Amino acid sequence: MPQFELANWLPQVAWLILTFGVMYLVVRAALPKVEAVKLSRAKVISDDLGHADTAKTNAQSVEAAFQAALVAARTTATKVTGDTKTTAAADAAARLKEIDAALAAKADAAQATLAKSQAKSLKSLEAVATDVTGDMVERLTGRRPAADAAASAVAQASA
């Protein structure tokens, strides 16, 4: 086998040292560029991720603020509604009371008037009844009873 002929060794090893030496230098010169490109890419990616992260945090804080404002607005609205409702209810109750009182007074006055006119009418009714009774007795008997007797009879009957 040519591999085991020692005469073949030296020329190969000599050229190997030379060629591999050149290759090592080429690689040493070329690799920093590869690394630089990869580093810059990693930097761009991490920067973009950082931007995205910041944007996300911002969006989250904005959303949190929005939610807080929403909650505050809702609370205020509820409070205002409640207050208004309470005020309105108190107002309505007060006015109702006032109106009730006015109506009661009016009713009382009317009642009094009514009672007065009722008594008046009853009194005149009594006079009329006495007259009518006198007339009826006169027609039936031909004799007019005494005014006192008719009035007492009417009073007795209406009692």
Partner 1 sequence: MASPLEQFELHKMVTADVMGYDVSFTNSAMFMVVTVVLVGLFLVLGMRNAKLVPGRWQTAVESTHEFVVGMVDENIGPNGRKYVPFIFALFMFVLFANLIGLIPFAFTTTSHLAVTFAFASFIFLLCLVIGFARHGFHFFSLFVPPQTPVVLLPLIVLIEMISFLTRPLTLSVRLFANMTAGHILLKVFAGFIISLGLAGGIWSAVAVLPMAMNIALYALELLVSVVQAYVFALLTCVYLNDSINLSH
- Note the residues at the interface with partner 1 (CB under 8 A): 1-4, 7-17, 19-20, 22-24, 26-28, 30-31, 33-35, 37-38, 40-41, 44
Among residues 33 and 139, whose Cβ is nearest to partner 1? Answer: 33
Among residues 14 and 71, whose Cβ is nearest to partner 1? Answer: 14
Q: CA 151, CA 157: separation in Å to the nearest integer? A: 10
Nearest distance, CB of residue 33 and partner 1, angstroms:
5
| Contact of 157 with 125, CB cutoff 8 Å | no
Nearest distance, CB of residue 36 and partner 1, angstroms:
8
Work out the burial of residue 131: count CB atoms within 10 Å of its CB; fewer than 13 is exposed, 13-18 middle, 19 or more buried: middle
Among residues 27 and 99, whose Cβ is nearest to partner 1? Answer: 27
Nearest distance, CB of residue 32 and partner 1, angstroms:
9
Side chain identity at residue 110, one-letter code? A
| Contact of 113 with 100, CB cutoff 8 Å | no
Q: CA 55, CA 42: separation in Å to the nearest integer? A: 20
| Contact of 147 with 127, CB cutoff 8 Å | no
Nearest distance, CB of residue 3 and partner 1, angstroms:
5
Among residues 37 and 103, whose Cβ is nearest to partner 1? Answer: 37
